[in-house]
Structure 1
Amino acid sequence: MNTSELNRFIVVLIYGSLVLLSVLKLSNPLRVNRKANFWFGIFLFLWSSFWLDEVLTLVKESQVEVHSIISVQVIQFLTPIMFYFSVLFYTNPSFKFKITDLKYLILPVFFWINILLQRFGGFEDNTVFNFIFIGLILFQALFYTGLSYFTIRKHKKRIQQFSSNTEGINLNWLEYITIIIFIINIIYVVYNLSYDSKALNFFINGVFLLVIYFVGYYSLKQKEIYPLEEKQREELISIDEDPGTEEIKKKLISDEELAKIKSQLEEIMEKQKPYLDSELNLIRLSELVSVSTHHLSYVINTGFKKNFFQYVNEYRISYAKKLLKDPQSKLSILGIAYESGFNSKTSFNTTFKKLTDQTPSEYKNSSDL
């Protein structure tokens, strides 16, 4: 099989995988992250259309150029926007479109006008319009992948305000996709402007196929990020992702009340050890302390100068250190991780290293000396 035949085979795999994956996301059999999966499914379907020309050419055994149809070009131009919409709903399932969100149509309208002028304007030289065409595609792709990236980064800060185990809800896979797409877009456009784009097809298609399989694996295993109960979800989403900003805001409670809750919280953490529950979150802890989630978050941020994730995991690491030092303990490193409230060895090692500058194994070996 030569390179050309292998490339055609990869194209078929790409198109089929994207269409199948889009159907799975739109049907959403697990009924999780419903709005996010809907928009992500639309994104995947639009993304598949970029290989439709090559697939139809293989089927008809003659050159087919669907991408030259104006309606198809406009629809394809919306692909990065659909991706951004899915990111919005993954990070905030309560997001609602407002009239001000019509701003997302500004670039597509400019794109549409440029196409109409290029096709029906009667201009002899369309060089300028071609540059505008490519420029709008590049700008739109880079703008929305960049916007998606920073939205995910904000989300990762916010979930540390209410979750003690962020693995599985931190959207790392989606962040990696935005970075990869960002890089590929730059390479592809630069190569299109400077060299023969067909020479790059095999490499780009191969990379895209790997990315699509990566997307399929992680997107299908993505669990619900926020509680399904609307009131709880709204409370958690409204918590500021940056605890430092709380200091410049109006006090939620008096200093006396803060000291009282702080003392009560420390007593519960020492005696009841709720941090050993790997599913502990701000809602569960606030129920134990009998205060609202906002007040508890304020106490942890202001009273301890930490976010919820840091506060809980310091207790877990302290508990794990005792188990690691215990000569009578028969637990493995993984066993100690689970016993201490972590839900994976990876998160345990990462957190332990961050707080102690040692891995659990290094700490255990040093304590044995």
Structure 2
Amino acid sequence: MTFWTFIYIAGALQAVLLATTLWRQSANRSANRLLAVWVALSGVDLAVKALYWHLLSPEWFRAYRFVALFPFLYGSLFYLYVRALVNMRGFRPRDVIHLAGFLVMLVLNGYVLVASEARIAALSARWIAGERGIGAWFDGPLFLYSLSYVMAALRLMHGYRRRLREQRADADRLSLRWIDALAACQIAIWSLAIVQALVYLPLFNYGLLFGLVAAWVFVVGWFSLGQPPVQAAPPEPVAQSEREPNAANDAARYADVEARLAQLMSGEAPLYLEPALTIAQVAKRSGYPEYLVSAVINRRLGGSFCDYINRLRVEAARARLADPDESRTILDIAYACGFTSKSTFNAAFKRQVGDTPSSYRKQCADAAPVG
């Protein structure tokens, strides 16, 4: 256990530094303070495990069993963190309900925390002898409870991204992709824990499991310290009953709205060239209500607002890339066509054209007549 003890100590020290930094960050303050608590608990978890596994002393077993309950907090803290990012809602007193799993298990495992020294020594000896699981009554609820919170957080993110794509042309740049990495790390850790609980495999042991937890702390640091300020989640579309009194006749205006959009997106200075374009800006320029513009884009032009704008931008970029007299770089062309990031442009171009921008430009250059 010497190797893993070193890894755990390194992870614990990193967690202390990271939690301190996150707590003091001004961007996304309420979310980052939840993340700081989450990271700090992980650091305490790793430190206690390192000390107990290194010393194998019964005196540390009580603390070891206490931090063994912390995983009941990790899934719910991830959910609260994501919710704070997309809804700008920090921790509130009623959110204690999300700590219920930990509190219930704290009560059920309270006998260990108040056990006599002889009882603690016996439990520690059984653990050292190889009986390292608490039991199926503990593992089953842990996996279901924690993974359900991870799934709930991802569902929250999915809704956020969907609404963002309906309202902003630069949605991909603002879609919190680091959340996917954090969720993937958690799912990998929980999957390993499930395998370890069901079947014994030499490599899939507790050492590796919490080694991944230590690695996760570094992943959190890598992604979270460079996170940009996050905008609040766009509101849900207005229900039909809450719209204008003549909403039932809106379909009759679809053709006029579509024609107006075509006018705005053509000519010498098409509107889609503006970076970070929002549907609110387009609606204002069109003279039609935002909900009506959104309905026309979704029902008659196909896809979300982000899809619609990026299709126009890709076609503009495609024409420039095919022009043999165009000397600008691919990235300059992407920016000139309204894209705000290289990755978003490359993904949109590949999805629409079926080829990368560089390969498409090369094919066009090779096919151009020599003269």
- Residue 109 of structure 2 corresponds to 115
1:27 is aligned to 2:24: yes
Please tell me whether the aligned partners of residues 14 and 48 of structure 1 are also in contact (alpha carbons under 8 angstroms). Answer: yes
Deviation of the 1:324 alpha carbon: 0.8
Range 195-204 or range 340-349, more displaced:
195-204
Please tell me whether the aligned partners of residues 163 and 282 of structure 1 are also in contact (alpha carbons under 8 angstroms). Answer: yes
Matched letter for residue 139 of structure 2: I
Kindly tell me: are residues 84 and 193 of structure 1, through their superposed partners in 2, closer, same or farther at Cα, counting changes over 3 Å? same
Give the SS at the match of 2:265. Answer: helix
Aligned counterparts of 1:194 and 1:22: Cα–Cα separation in 2: 35
Quick one: which of 15, 18, 22 aligns to 1:18? 15
Aligned counterparts of 1:253 and 1:25: Cα–Cα separation in 2: 51
Matched letter for residue 237 of structure 2: I
Cα-to-partner distance string for 1:317-366 (whole Å, 9 max, x where unaligned): 11001101111110122222222222232221211111111222232233
Give the alignment's TM-score, normalised by structure 2.
Answer: 0.79
Aligned counterparts of 1:362 and 1:199: Cα–Cα separation in 2: 43
Aligned counterparts of 2:273 and 2:323: Cα–Cα separation in 1: 18
Q: How many correspondences in the alignment?
A: 349
1:93 is aligned to 2:91: no
Range 313-322 or range 4-13, more displaced:
4-13
Which protein shows a greater Rg? 2
Please tell me whether the aligned partners of residues 168 and 222 of structure 1 are also in contact (alpha carbons under 8 angstroms). Answer: no
Aligned counterparts of 1:75 and 1:13: Cα–Cα separation in 2: 19
- Residue 256 of structure 2 corresponds to 260
Please tell me whether the aligned partners of residues 82 and 157 of structure 2 are also in contact (alpha carbons under 8 angstroms). Answer: yes
Cα-to-partner distance string for 1:24-60 (whole Å, 9 max, x where unaligned): 22211xx222322222222212222221214545998
Deviation of the 1:274 alpha carbon: 2.5
Please tell me whether the aligned partners of residues 31 and 90 of structure 2 are also in contact (alpha carbons under 8 angstroms). Answer: no
Aligned counterparts of 2:179 and 2:286: Cα–Cα separation in 1: 35
Deviation of the 1:108 alpha carbon: 3.3
Give the SS at the match of 1:160. Answer: helix
Kindly tell me: are residues 253 and 270 of structure 1, through their superposed partners in 2, closer, same or farther at Cα, counting changes over 3 Å? farther
Alignment of 1:65-214 (within 5 A): 65=61, 67-68=63-64, 70=66, 72=67, 77-93=72-88, 104-116=98-110, 130-192=135-197, 194-195=199-200, 200-214=205-219
Aligned counterparts of 1:119 and 1:129: Cα–Cα separation in 2: 14
Aligned counterparts of 2:149 and 2:226: Cα–Cα separation in 1: 24
Give the SS at the match of 1:328. Answer: coil
Give the SS at the match of 2:135. Answer: helix
Please tell me whether the aligned partners of residues 164 and 313 of structure 1 are also in contact (alpha carbons under 8 angstroms). Answer: yes
Matched letter for residue 107 of structure 1: G
Please tell me whether the aligned partners of residues 253 and 295 of structure 1 are also in contact (alpha carbons under 8 angstroms). Answer: no
Alignment of 1:274-293 (within 5 A): 274-293=271-290
List gaps (5 residues or longer) in structure 1. Answer: 227-232
Aligned counterparts of 1:225 and 1:253: Cα–Cα separation in 2: 37
Give the SS at the match of 1:265. Answer: helix
Aligned counterparts of 2:49 and 2:96: Cα–Cα separation in 1: 34
Aligned counterparts of 1:50 and 1:20: Cα–Cα separation in 2: 15
Cα-to-partner distance string for 1:101-133 (whole Å, 9 max, x where unaligned): 66535433432342246777999x9x9973212
Quick one: which of 276, 295, 298 aligns to 1:298? 295
Aligned counterparts of 1:19 and 1:363: Cα–Cα separation in 2: 49
Across the aligned residues of Structure 1 and Structure 2, the Cα RMSD in angstroms comes to 3.8
Quick one: which of 252, 261, 266 aligns to 1:270? 266
Kindly tell me: are residues 203 and 117 of structure 1, through their superposed partners in 2, closer, same or farther at Cα, counting changes over 3 Å? closer
Give the alignment's TM-score, normalised by structure 1.
Answer: 0.79
Kindly tell me: are residues 94 and 14 of structure 1, through their superposed partners in 2, closer, same or farther at Cα, counting changes over 3 Å? closer
Deviation of the 1:6 alpha carbon: 3.8
Give the SS at the match of 2:235. Answer: helix
Give the SS at the match of 1:298. Answer: helix
Give the SS at the match of 2:18. Answer: helix
Kindly tell me: are residues 77 and 95 of structure 1, through their superposed partners in 2, closer, same or farther at Cα, counting changes over 3 Å? closer
1:341 is aligned to 2:335: no
Range 211-220 or range 101-110, more displaced:
101-110
Please tell me whether the aligned partners of residues 192 and 204 of structure 2 are also in contact (alpha carbons under 8 angstroms). Answer: no
Kindly tell me: are residues 67 and 287 of structure 1, through their superposed partners in 2, closer, same or farther at Cα, counting changes over 3 Å? farther
Aligned counterparts of 2:103 and 2:206: Cα–Cα separation in 1: 29
- Residue 229 of structure 1 corresponds to none
- Residue 309 of structure 1 corresponds to 306
Quick one: which of 25, 45, 49 aligns to 2:44? 49
